[in-house]
C-alpha cells in the first residue's frame, strides 16, 4: 500500500511541470489578446459612394424616412438570421425621427439629427453592445441628368477609455458596417435600375 501511495505521489509530481507550462501558455495567450485590444484604434471612419440613376428628390425620400430604410438597407434583409426588428417613436422621418433596433447581434437607437431637403441627412446610432456611438452623414449631389451621387460617411465616436472589450466590439462593428453600407448603396441603386428596365 505504501509503495502504491509513493508511486501516485511521484506521478503527481511528474505531472505538475506539464500543468504549470499549460496554464502559463494559456495565461500568455489571454494576456496577448488583452494587450492587442488596447492597440486597436479608438475611432474609425467608413466612406462609401454610389452613382445612382435617380434624382435627389427620389433618393431623399428614401434616406429621410427611417421607415423606408428597411426597403433598401441590406442589414434589414438579414432579419431572419438575427431576428432584427424595428420600432419607431412619434417621428419616422426628418429631424427627430427615431428607429429602435432589436436583434441577436445589434441593439440600439438610430436617430436623424439633421435633415436638409434633397441634400443630406445626419444621424446618430447609439449601439447598446459596448455603449458605442456612430455618427453618420448621407449626402446627395446631382451628377448629371437624372443621376445623383450619394456619399455615405459613418464614423465611430472616439472611445475615451482603454477597455479592450469595447475596442474589439468597435473593431467588429466596423467590419459589419463596412460591408452593409456598401451593400445598401448597391441595393438602392438596383431599385432604380429595376424600375428603368421595366420602363424600357
State residue 31's pLDDT score: 53
Cell of 50: 454610389
Q: Which residue has the cell 434624382?
A: 55
The rounded distance, in Å, linking the Cα atoms of 38 and 24 is: 21
Question: What is the pTM (predicted TM-score) of this model?
Answer: 0.80
Q: Give the pLDDT band (50/70/90) at residue 90.
A: confident
The rounded distance, in Å, linking the Cα atoms of 119 and 115 is: 8
Rg of the chain over Cα atoms, rounded to whole angstroms, equals 25
| pLDDT exceeds 70 at position 24 | no
| pLDDT exceeds 90 at position 35 | no
State residue 197's pLDDT score: 46
Fold of 43-199: Alpha-D-Glucose-1,6-Bisphosphate; Chain A, domain 4 (3.30.530)
Least trusted range by pLDDT, from 87-96, 168-177, 189-198: 189-198
Span 102-124, pLDDT tens digits: 988 889 999 999 999 999 999 99
| pLDDT exceeds 50 at position 200 | no
The rounded distance, in Å, linking the Cα atoms of 128 and 139 is: 26
Q: What's the whole-number mean pLDDT along residues 2-7?
A: 52
Amino acid at each position: 500500500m505504501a509503495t502504491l501511495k509513493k508511486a501516485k505521489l511521484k506521478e503527481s509530481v511528474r505531472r505538475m511541470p506539464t500543468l504549470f507550462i499549460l496554464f502559463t501558455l494559456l495565461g500568455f495567450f489571454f494576456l496577448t489578446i488583452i494587450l492587442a485590444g488596447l492597440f486597436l484604434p479608438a475611432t474609425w471612419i467608413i466612406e462609401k459612394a454610389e452613382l445612382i440613376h435617380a434624382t435627389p428628390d427620389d433618393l431623399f425620400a428614401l434616406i429621410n424616412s427611417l421607415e423606408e430604410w428597411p426597403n433598401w438597407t441590406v442589414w434589414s434583409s438579414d432579419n431572419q438570421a438575427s431576428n432584427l426588428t424595428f420600432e419607431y417613436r412619434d417621428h419616422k422621418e426628418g429631424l427627430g425621427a427615431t428607429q429602435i433596433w432589436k436583434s441577436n447581434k445589434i441593439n440600439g437607437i438610430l436617430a436623424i439629427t439633421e435633415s436638409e431637403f434633397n441634400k443630406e441627412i445626419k444621424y446618430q446610432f447609439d449601439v447598446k453592445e459596448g455603449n458605442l456611438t456612430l455618427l453618420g452623414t448621407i449626402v446627395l449631389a446631382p451628377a448629371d441628368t437624372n443621376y445623383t451621387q450619394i456619399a455615405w460617411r459613418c464614423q465611430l465616436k472616439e472611445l475615451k477609455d482603454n477597455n479592450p472589450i469595447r475596442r474589439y466590439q468597435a473593431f467588429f462593428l466596423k467590419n459589419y458596417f463596412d460591408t452593409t453600407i456598401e451593400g445598401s448603396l448597391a441595393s438602392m441603386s438596383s431599385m432604380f435600375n429595376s424600375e428603368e428596365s421595366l420602363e424600357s
